[in-house]
Structure 1
Amino acid sequence: MSSAGAGRREGPVPGPREISVPGRPEARALRRFARAEWGPLLRTVRSSLVTDKLRAIWLTLTAVCLTLAFQFVQNQAWGYQTVQNIGSVQAYEHLWVALLRTPLSLFVPALDLPVWGALAQILVVFGIAEICVGWRQTLVVAYVATLAGTMYARIGIWIGPVSPVGLPDSDKYVIDTGPSAAVVGLAVFVCWRYRARFTCALVVVAMVVEVVSIKNNLAGKEHVAAVLAVLAVCALGEVWRPREPREGRRVSGWGHPR
């Protein structure tokens, strides 16, 4: 060996376990929490998208296209009133009219919000829900959450502004459209089903804080109503589930994530 090579001798290089990484225990704890909280949900979404690709979210893509179509039509002079007639809900109207319009009101973007917000909400939350709980339950929960908001508007106006849960009489003329109540309800439902307890609690707390500190109006309170309605559905599902046969639980989707 040459003298030059001999002069470069160094001690053993420490292995990966010997290197001290600041904050490493905290990072491991965070990774464990993330795997426990979101691991099953993310694995389900990834597996379905790899296997079925866009077929896994056909309902979501249909909802996105429908929302884009409503946005285009309502921005035309000839189409605004048509969209209002089939998808706009206002609390002063007859209840049967509101009930007929409520399903389509999910896909009519709110006039005071950018359409890209509605599209992003539908694509992400509806897409995850469709993969994780199936398109039928996605539709049912979305409708339940939106219907809860529609019914709350009438109850809140009846209560009046004297109560924190009431609404002023002027809110009966507010045009009530958009997917936000359905999105919040679906987020709670999927988190509950996949036992993402922290995320579920975070969504609920965020909706309450929204009403208390940010958006103390019809839209904000409808979000809380949607959350309460979906939590009631989840609680009923938990009560009903143990009475099912094991195979029935697996088929219905209440037992194990698909």
Structure 2
Amino acid sequence: MLRLLRFLWCTLAAEFKAIVVLPVRKLVLERRWSGLTLAVVACLGVIVLHAVHLTAWGHDFVRWIGGVQAGLPLPLALLRTPMSLYVPALHLPVWGGLTQLFIAFALAQLLLGWKRTLLVAYVATLAGTMSARLMIWLGPDHLLGIGADQAYVLDTGPSAAVVGLFSYIAVVKRAPVLFSLTSLMMIIESVAVPNLAGREHLIAIGAAMVMGFIRLYRESKGIEPGAFARALSRTAARAAGRAPRPAAPDPQALPATEWERQAAPEPAGRGSPTG
């Protein structure tokens, strides 16, 4: 038992150093305060929309720009999903979740960069939102299904993005203790309070896990970051008939004889003067 506790403590200390201490030290020593941009913007967005939501006119306005429900038409739900991250969940205190929101986005941006942070947060939120439609389609008689009345439940808040970011960081940084704690808390929440939000959190964790394992696989194969996006852009350009033209031959890349043959002027005819 003592060995197990010692192992857990050493593993947790190593994870805390890699995920928290080193990024914060780099932030302070190099004064890279721009690494907190997403965290500040996310917290300010939640605070502003919460204040607007409390006004007489803001209730309908906030629901119009960020209110997502499973019963909405799919294009409208996809359009509102990015703003739904900043709309506070009705059953959770706003100020209590701001600390988790700030820590999740700050650590993610320092460790992953702002592009990867936004991608993981959006995919985790979108996976949870889309899974609600599937669960309603399965129905309450199915083990994974829910009742049709859940289609009118307001599905907002950044909690799915937060648990998704923590799970993704835990996978790519090989932090099993952090991942176990995050997953265990969500499982306990889903069992203790069975609702739509708890199930969506589990789906968000699963989506973040898949993204994390894909990144580990790409790193193990030596695939450069952004290679997939560049391949997609080239494929889209060819499909649209705008494939880039081949570049001119580089003299350094061709053999000397071949380049000299292409660059040399054509020889004069047999009857031309030789001077």
TM-score (norm. length: structure 1): 0.81
Aligned match of 1:238? 216
Aligned match of 1:15? none
Aligned match of 2:33? 54
Return the offset for 1:76: 0.4
Q: 1:136 to 1:161 in 2, by over 3 A?
A: same
Answer yes or no: is 1:123 the counterpart of 2:102. yes
Return the offset for 1:53: 5.3
- Whether the 8 Å contact between 1:57 and 1:130 is mirrored in structure 2 is yes
Aligned match of 1:92? 71
Aligned match of 2:11? 33
Return the offset for 1:128: 1.2
Higher radius of gyration, 1 or 2? 2
Aligned match of 1:14? none
- Alignment partners' CA distance in 2, 1:155 and 1:124: 31
Answer yes or no: is 1:165 the counterpart of 2:144. yes
- Alignment partners' CA distance in 2, 1:229 and 1:237: 13
Letter in 2 for 1:238: L
Indicate which of 174, 183, 193 corresponds to 1:204.
Answer: 183
Return the offset for 1:36: 2.2
Query: In the comparison of the two structures, how many residue pairs are matched?
Result: 226
- Alignment partners' CA distance in 2, 1:201 and 1:25: 19
Aligned match of 2:205? 227
- Whether the 8 Å contact between 2:171 and 2:213 is mirrored in structure 1 is no
Q: 1:25 to 1:113 in 2, by over 3 A?
A: closer
- Alignment partners' CA distance in 2, 1:73 and 1:166: 34
Aligned match of 1:174? 153
Letter in 2 for 1:98: A
Aligned match of 1:145? 124
- Alignment partners' CA distance in 2, 1:160 and 1:203: 28
Other structure's SS at 1:93 match: coil
Aligned match of 1:113? 92
- Alignment partners' CA distance in 2, 1:26 and 1:149: 35
Q: 1:28 to 1:112 in 2, by over 3 A?
A: closer
Q: 1:34 to 1:92 in 2, by over 3 A?
A: closer
Return the offset for 1:30: 6.1
- Alignment partners' CA distance in 2, 1:97 and 1:64: 25
Structure 1 alignment gaps of length 5 or more: 1-23, 253-258
Structure 2 alignment gaps of length 5 or more: 229-275
- Alignment partners' CA distance in 1, 2:165 and 2:67: 21
Q: 1:181 to 1:30 in 2, by over 3 A?
A: closer
Other structure's SS at 2:12 match: helix
Return the offset for 1:86: 0.6
Return the offset for 1:240: 2.3
Return the offset for 1:52: 2.3
- Alignment partners' CA distance in 1, 2:66 and 2:45: 12
Letter in 2 for 1:163: H
Letter in 2 for 1:187: F
Q: 1:123 to 1:162 in 2, by over 3 A?
A: same
